[in-house]
Amino acid sequence: MERVHLIKKYGPCSCEAFAESGAPAVVAAAGPAKIIPGSDFTNRTTAFFMTAKYADAIPFYRMEKMLAREGLAVSRAALCNQAVAVGRAVGDLVDAMDRDMRKSPVVLMDETRVKVLNDGRGPPGRMSFMWVSRGYRDRRPIHLFRYHPTRSGEFAAKLLEDYRGYLQTDGYSGYSRVGQSPGIVHVGCFAHIRRKFHEAWETAGKTGTAVEALEIIRRIYAVESELRSRLESGSIDAQAFLSKRSGRVEAVVAELRAWLGSASRSVAPQSALGKAVAYALGQVDKAARFVEHELLTPDTNAAENAIRPFVVGRKNWLFSGNELGAHASAGIFSLIETAKANGHEPFRYLEQLFEHLPLCRSLDEREALLPYRLLPSDYAEN
């Protein structure tokens, strides 16, 4: 449906009193508030552009060609500038997400590569990284993306500065430093342990003893699936869930430890299975800690799922032009992926956000528009 905004203008008045008042010759009503002040595009159109790229993985160069077929001359540069401007406009919301993330009892972290053409570090196109954290406010999920030129563990420590709670990650050594910080309980990931054994099983032609480890790990997941289903259905409460899960999982983990100890004495260390055993021995104690909190699961798959849309998009748009664009992308991805995790349709959420954010008079009003504080039903009838 086409939307037309009529802005009335009045003046000039020819009376003597008006001439002496010093008022402007022509007075115009205020136009609609925009997420990007002075933009040629409506908030709805800007929401469409952002959804197309960051939710549907359509790169701006392809969008430019699609619009041209409809007779619309919108350059790739104009679309990039839109993204950067949106990134600035939502910056304080992303900062609020960061503050809430640091208060979450549980944080999952992961990272993936991103190529930035001009990052000020030398030859263009060097590899940088997009970091993602998953946490909760009032049990509602938050997905926070942050760009950084390196994969340094120092940046992970900065992201979780002053954090107290459970940190769940894969076995990347960059998380070790922050995992040892006071007040942090570092939790590992059974999915990564399982992945190593699955690779060893495939290397051996889908035969061999790696299948024994896979079967033990499968039983850990079976316990998790059964008890979480009962928790979500209301047949057991949170306390019973934690108690039952702890007892049953710890028995299976003890069996896995015994199997790993035996395998470590009989498997060639440099074989695929030997490497899988060594990795598991270094991670199993941390991975087993997931039983300590209701919001933890056996793995970091929720964080990997959050970062997957970025990876899909990266295959299409290949790189960010500069660090400014990468930071803007991180902010927009944070809002869209958090919106999706909380049941929002991404375009509808961005449309509502862009319409209401410019009208907010306080930070509290702005933060009330965060996707984990706003319900889809709050604007379903608008």
The reported pLDDT for the residue numbered 94 is 97
Match 């608008």 to its residue by tokens. 382
Match 């990997």 to its residue by tokens. 304
Our count of domains for the chain comes to: 2
Match 């030398």 to its residue by tokens. 122
- In order, the DSSP letters of 5-53 are ----EE----SHHHHHHT--SSEE------SSTT-SS-HHHHHHHHHHH
Average pLDDT over residues 274-284: 96
Is residue 88 domain-resident?
A: yes
The beta strands (E) that lie in 157-210 are given as 165-168, 184-187
Cα 364–145–97 angle (5° rounding)?
A: 20
Domain with 261 in it? 193-295
Is residue 11 domain-resident?
A: no
Residue pair 162/102 in contact by the 8 Å Cβ criterion: yes
Q: Is the domain of 222 the same as that of 125?
A: no
Residue pair 40/85 in contact by the 8 Å Cβ criterion: no
Residue pair 245/291 in contact by the 8 Å Cβ criterion: yes
Q: Is the domain of 116 the same as that of 215?
A: no
Residue pair 86/324 in contact by the 8 Å Cβ criterion: no
Retrieve residue 322's tokens.
């500069």
The type of residue at 325 is G
Average pLDDT over residues 148-165: 91
Q: Is the domain of 202 the same as that of 175?
A: no
What are the tens digits of pLDDT across the range 188-218? 999 999 999 999 999 999 888 999 999 999 9
Q: Is the domain of 159 the same as that of 63?
A: yes
Cα 322–325–328 angle (5° rounding)?
A: 150
Q: Is 313 a residue whose pLDDT tops 90?
A: no
Percent of the chain whose predicted confidence (pLDDT) is above 70: 90
The reported pLDDT for the residue numbered 116 is 80
* 99 vs 206, residue with greater confidence: 99
The reported pLDDT for the residue numbered 208 is 86
Which of 295, 312, 329 marks a domain boundary? Answer: 295
Is residue 10 domain-resident?
A: no
Q: Is the domain of 336 the same as that of 267?
A: no
Q: 173-192: b or e for each residue (b if 16 or more CB lie within 10 Å)?
A: ebbeebbeeeebbbbbbbbb
What size, in residues, is the chain?
382
Q: What number of H helices and E strands is found in the chain? A: 15, 8
Retrieve residue 191's tokens.
């999915």
What are the tens digits of pLDDT across the range 323-356? 888 899 999 999 999 999 999 999 999 999 999 9
Q: Which helix (H) or strand (E) holds 137?
A: strand 127-137
User: Which residues make beta-bridge pairs with 106?
Assistant: 166
Q: Is the domain of 75 the same as that of 183?
A: yes
Q: Is the domain of 179 the same as that of 240?
A: no
Residue pair 253/259 in contact by the 8 Å Cβ criterion: no
* DSSP 3-state of 365: helix
Alpha carbons 112 and 310: distance in angstroms, whole number: 9
Average pLDDT, the chain: 91
Is residue 33 domain-resident?
A: no
Q: Is the domain of 169 the same as that of 308?
A: yes
Is residue 1 domain-resident?
A: no
Average pLDDT over residues 75-102: 96
Is residue 5 domain-resident?
A: no
Q: Is the domain of 248 the same as that of 150?
A: no
Alpha carbons 380 and 106: distance in angstroms, whole number: 31
Q: Is the domain of 137 the same as that of 213?
A: no
What are the tens digits of pLDDT across the range 115-126? 886 655 556 557
Q: Is the domain of 282 the same as that of 326?
A: no
191, 183, 212, 223: which is closest to 305 by C-alpha? Answer: 191
Which of 277, 295, 313 marks a domain boundary? Answer: 295
